[in-house]
A and B are shown apart, each in its own frame.
Chain A
Amino acid sequence: MAVISFHKISKDYKTGFRKKKAALRDFSLNIVEGEVFGFLGPNGAGKSTAIKILLNLIFPTAGKAEIMGRDAGEKEIRRSVGYLPENPYFYDYLNPVELLNFAGKTSGMNSLEIKEKTEELLNTVGLWNERKRAIRSYSKGMVQRVGLALALIHDPKIVILDEPMTGLDPIGRRQVIDLILNLKSEGKTIFFSSHILEDIERVCDRIGILVNGRLVRTIDIKSESLSMPLEDVFIKEVEKAGGIRE
């Protein structure tokens, strides 16, 4: 069963008076339950646009996005979704415990559940001892880890991660990979974008290559054996699609 579906989605951004730029064109994709789907594409290919449409942060110009068979615009469906944005930014003067409390409350959790989950997650991302410090004193990598904890506080069925490795050192990257593999073993559906091909290849069941707003290829890592390294496949697909258009 597809838990994430994009049906012929197009998205145009206004770039000036009467000027538009197509960020997504006729984009269709289905991601099934328990699948780890890696979204690959050059900068500006439309990866974040697709993710933001799914989270109702922006609206498609045409087409429809669905989560578990329901319109992505329905707010209640977002109870099942955890999201880590690219380069996350949180409230400067709050600490991670306050942020996680907010995230838990808005996701319908009770105080006890939030308390237990907060301790578990902050230990997992290595921030338990720093929990009383305001976010403004955190490094970029630490903020990223707070973002991961926020995405997972309500134990979502679907986890959407937009460039989760950004700003992380090798140890942090390793922790994220382990976290994704752990979520995968719990049967969660994971949809994530990354530029780091090695990570994508390591954790994903399927990969989608997006170039200039079009999904040019999907690769089933388990069943398809690639004749060349993923990096070469990626470059070939980008070139085949006409390179990167500004």
Chain B
Amino acid sequence: MTQIWSVALITFKEGIKSRVLFGIFIIALLLFAATTVVITLFMRDIVKVAVDLSLSTVSFAGLLALLFIGVNLFGKDLDKRTIYMVISRPVSRAQYLVGKFFGIILLIFVVTTFLGALSTIPVIMGKRFYYYTEVRFDWWIFLIAVLYIFIKLAIVSSIITLFASFTSNSFIALVLSLVTYIIGQSTESVRLLLVSTVEKIEVSPALSYMVDIAYYIFPNMAAFDLKTQAAHGLAIGPVYMIWTILYAIFYMTIAVAVGTLAFRRREFP
């Protein structure tokens, strides 16, 4: 456990001190400021717009941090051989990979917490400065939506870990992770469209089968997007929360376990 924790801690420290992270925070701050300005253009549903844009900013900036820092934390180790300093010690390849994954999770947790705290500013301003009150807003649901952004990014971290375990360079891992994220965002909508009884779409059985496979292989990112619930103050049921959290844990475990298996025979010439 010491080995995993040591790798996680050094990964986190390297990530949190990265200058790229500073740049991402600047982008996020500008987006939050823009949100505060944009909501003034709306006549109604101001808080809903503020919530939607703020949570989108948290998600976007978190994803940027993950793709540019998280991928790089693996990439530099493998491309520039920083990994020599870890693997030449009593640290197994599996411990390295799991430690790296937890380090990125820790980084994303801090990033999401910080961005989540900042995201409340446009919402508070929206609520305070406009007399029009929207009853259906609940800070708890907003908080759960931020938590779910973190869980979604944690799943992306596990995918990065998986791809980094067998790809030869960090750019390939970045592209594959991004593609997986994009597919994962849309598989649920595509599948719902195909099985919809309202809009009948004629598709070949092969395509339908492929969509089904993609639905089960790629992570269902849409399940962790609670912007609508947060914006409209819609309650999130405990059953939904339990199942989605279990799904996330299951998916991350499988991704990291497969990554660990691939990494066990990896050489660092």
Q: Which residues of A contact B (CB under 8 A)?
A: 13, 49, 52, 55-59, 75-76, 78-79, 81, 83, 85, 88-94, 98-99, 102-103, 105-108, 134, 147, 150
Which residues of A lie under 8 Å from residue B81 when comparing CB positions?
85, 89
Contact in complex: A150, B85 (CB < 8 Å): yes
Asked if residues A91 and B89 are in contact (CB atoms below 8 Å), the reply is no
User: Given A57-B87, A106-B89, do A52 and B268 touch, yes or no (CB 8 Å)?
Assistant: yes
Chain B residues whose CB sits within 8 angstroms of the CB of A81 once the complex forms: 88
Instruction: Count A/B pairs, Cβ under 8 Å.
Output: 85
The answer to whether A92 touches B14, judged by C-beta atoms less than 8 angstroms apart, is yes
Residues of B within 8 A of A (CB): 2-3, 6-7, 9-10, 13-14, 17-18, 76, 80-82, 84-92, 265, 267-269
Distance A150 CA – B85 CA, assembled complex (angstroms): 8
Q: List 18 additional A-B contacts (Cβ < 8 Å) besides A57-B88, A92-B76, A103-B89.
A: A49-B269, A52-B268, A56-B88, A58-B269, A59-B265, A75-B92, A78-B89, A81-B88, A83-B84, A85-B88, A89-B76, A91-B13, A93-B17, A94-B14, A106-B6, A106-B7, A106-B86, A106-B91
Chain B residues, CB < 8 A from A102 = 6, 9-10
Contact A91 B84 (CB under 8 A): no
Residues of A within 8 A of B76 (CB): 89, 91-92
Q: In the complex, what residue of chain B is closest to A87 when comparing beta carbons?
A: B81
Residues from chain B with a CB closer than 8 A to the CB of A52 are 268-269
Question: In the bound complex, how far is the Cα of B86 from the Cα of A90, in angstroms?
Answer: 10
Would you call B10 and A56 a contact (CB within 8 A)? no
Query: What is the chain B residue whose CB lies nearest that of A73?
Result: B92
* Distance of B264 from chain A, by nearest CB (Å): 11
**A91 and B82 within 8 A (CB):** yes
**Chain B residues within an 8 Å CB radius of A134:** 17
CB-based contact A89/B265 at 8 Å: no
Q: Do the beta carbons of A89 and B267 come within 8 Å of each other?
A: no
Look across to chain B and name the residue whose beta carbon is closest to the beta carbon of A153. B89
On whether the beta carbons of A88 and B85 are closer than 8 Å, the reply is yes
Which residues on the A side are within 8 Å of B10 (C-beta)?
Answer: 91, 94, 98-99, 102
